[in-house]
Chains A and B, each alone.
Chain A
Amino acid sequence: RKEVEQDPGPFNVPEGATVAFNCTYSNSASQSFFWYRQDCRKEPKLLMSVYSSGNEDGRFTAQLNRASQYISLLIRDSKLSDSATYLCVVNSKKTSYDKVIFGPGTSLSVIP
């Protein structure tokens, strides 16, 4: 089983739709979690951190379920500019360094 798994998609949704992505991780000792977005042929950029109590940033809501070891990202009122690949990132401390695992990404296309 891969350490971090995501549904690759693609998710094709109309403008204004709500879309949700899930991510599962295998290491129960994982400590911190993030969502990144990556535009075609560009570097990954931090979208938001994911906190235990859940957090919201505008149209984006992230949730963490430690018991079930999954993270979710909800995008409301989708915009054309939301089209990108969304990467789930899980960070575990291992001895003296951080072990950072990137998921394979979920592709989103928002259609006019």
Chain B
Amino acid sequence: NAGVTQTPKFQVLKTGQSMTLQCAQDMNHNSMYWYRQDPGMGLRLIYYSASEGTTDKGEVPNGYNVSRLNKREFSLRLESAAPSQTSVYFCASTDQSNSNQPQHFGDGTRLSIL
């Protein structure tokens, strides 16, 4: 049981390049989330998907797009990377049908933009 899997684990980009961060979960969860965490800071929600086919903006959505490809997969795209987007990105999922269920996290993608 892999839980939440993120790829890649590390990536270095040049300013202006684009890339997609992948996330997949095998726990049959409805809700999926993308967070960023900057050094010494807390988690900030970028986008979330309450269920397959729906996505909504979180606290810091500018510069990002997302796709909920199916129930398992939720990808995050940077169309034109900027140095301010250098961060660690975490994907998480939870069973929305029960609000007492915690979120499960992937082990993160460490992204550096030069």
Assess whether B42 is in contact with A97, with CB atoms less than 8 Å apart: no
Smallest CB gap from B91: residue in A: A43
Report the Cα distance A2→B60, complex, angstroms. 16
Smallest CB gap from A33: residue in B: B100
Assess whether A104 is in contact with B42, with CB atoms less than 8 Å apart: yes
Assess whether B105 is in contact with A49, with CB atoms less than 8 Å apart: no
Contact of A89 among B96, B102, B106 (CB under 8 A): B102
A14 at the interface (CB under 8 A from B): no
Report the Cα distance A111→B110, complex, angstroms. 29
A34 at the interface (CB under 8 A from B): yes
Mask for B41-62, Cβ within 8 A of A = 1, else 0?
1110100101000001000000
Smallest CB gap from A34: residue in B: B102
What band does the interface of chain B fall in when counting residues whose beta carbon is under 8 Å from A?
20 to 34
Assess whether A44 is in contact with B105, with CB atoms less than 8 Å apart: yes
Q: Which chain B residues lie closer than 8 Å to A100 at the CB level?
A: 33, 45, 94, 103
Q: Which chain B residues lie closer than 8 Å to A36 at the CB level?
A: 102
The answer to whether A102 and B43 touch (CB under 8 A), given A41-B88, A42-B107, is: yes
Q: Which chain B residues lie closer than 8 Å to A105 at the CB level?
A: 42
Q: Which chain B residues lie closer than 8 Å to A102 at the CB level?
A: 35, 42-43
Report the Cα distance A42→B108, complex, angstroms. 7
Contact of B31 among A31, A45, A97, A104 (CB under 8 A): A97
A96 at the interface (CB under 8 A from B): yes
List the interface of chain A (C-beta within 8 A of B): 31-32, 34, 36, 41-46, 49, 87, 89, 91, 93, 96-98, 100, 102-105
